[in-house]
Amino acid sequence: MKLDFPVGYYLYRLFWVGIDLLYPPLCGGCEKVGIRWCENCKTSLSFVPNPKCEICGLPQEKEGVCNSCEKNRPAYSVLRSWAVFEEGPIRDALHGMKYRQDLGLGDSLLAEMLAYIEQLNWDIDIVVPVPLGRKRFRERGYNQVGLIARPLALAKKWKYAPRSLKRVKETISQVGLGADEREKNVRSAFLANEKKVAGKRVLVMDDVSTTGATLNSCAKALVKGNAAEVYALSLARALPHHGLETV
């Protein structure tokens, strides 16, 4: 599929090409020299199989809404994820963005995601990355989700609005927590800026979704801020059989 994008997106990509000329990159998945995301890592990815729940996006045996979403409908209208989070290149790439300051990798991964996002055919006004708490932001110096969300907004001519949502409760890491613990950990952790989100169709983005608790908590805050509709998107999805111990 050939996609045409605004000039601003191409200029953003050109910036990273210039950085790569000055400082030759390593592949985020396998550390191959000279490229940020190599062909071998691209072809190694797994994708969430169909059929999947119409709302939360988890695979199931038949089309429709899963039992969990029927019983406790999320605040977002739809959650979708590009790839399956598993051992290998995608896990290493996301850890590189998050912990090793591989800032250019977000641009490369988003370029691979764009055809999938086009197929979703969502009508979006603003894009919001899941916000970090103050402590984590000071430690890291950047929000790794923004490395994907910003170029997406440029490519789709959507407004990038990271300040439309903030984390108002410092939460512990979700790694190792069960589903109920994850939901409790992020409950009421976010606050939307009503002036920025009221009446808007909002896309909230995360790097990895496991139970969807964080994205749902964000969506609840956005709905409370009178957003017209909330969609949720993650780069990767941890499937139930992977367990929660390391995700």
Tell me if 185 is assigned to some domain.
yes
pLDDT (mean) for 117-128:
97
In this prediction, residue 230 has a pLDDT band, given cuts at 50, 70 and 90, of very high
Q: Is the pLDDT of residue 147 over 60?
A: yes
Helix, strand or coil for residue 151?
helix
Tell me if 1 is assigned to some domain.
no
Tell me if 220 is assigned to some domain.
yes
Tell me if 131 is assigned to some domain.
yes
Strand partners, 78: 231
How far is the C-alpha of 198 from the C-alpha of 228, rounded, in Å?
Answer: 7
Tell me if 45 is assigned to some domain.
yes
Question: Which residues constitute the domain of residue 210?
Answer: 7-242
Q: Which of 83-87, 149-153, 171-175 has the lowest mean pLDDT?
A: 171-175
CATH value at residue 180: 3.40.50
In this prediction, residue 121 carries a pLDDT of: 96
In this prediction, residue 69 has a pLDDT band, given cuts at 50, 70 and 90, of very high
Residue 197 phi/psi, 5-degree rounding, is -110, -15
pTM: 0.91
How far is the C-alpha of 93 from the C-alpha of 231, rounded, in Å?
Answer: 24
How far is the C-alpha of 237 from the C-alpha of 212, rounded, in Å?
Answer: 9
What's the length of the chain? 247
Kindly report the average pLDDT of the chain as a whole number: 92
In this prediction, residue 1 has a pLDDT band, given cuts at 50, 70 and 90, of low
Dump pLDDT digits (tens) for 164-210: 999 988 776 776 667 777 777 778 889 999 999 999 999 999 999 99
Could you tell me what percent of the chain has a pLDDT over 90?
83
Tokens for 72, please give them: 């406790």
- Number of structural domains in the chain: 1
Q: Is the pLDDT of residue 136 over 90?
A: no
Tell me if 2 is assigned to some domain.
no
Tell me if 112 is assigned to some domain.
yes
In this prediction, residue 207 carries a pLDDT of: 95
Tell me if 43 is assigned to some domain.
yes
pLDDT (mean) for 10-19:
96
In this prediction, residue 180 carries a pLDDT of: 76
In this prediction, residue 57 carries a pLDDT of: 96
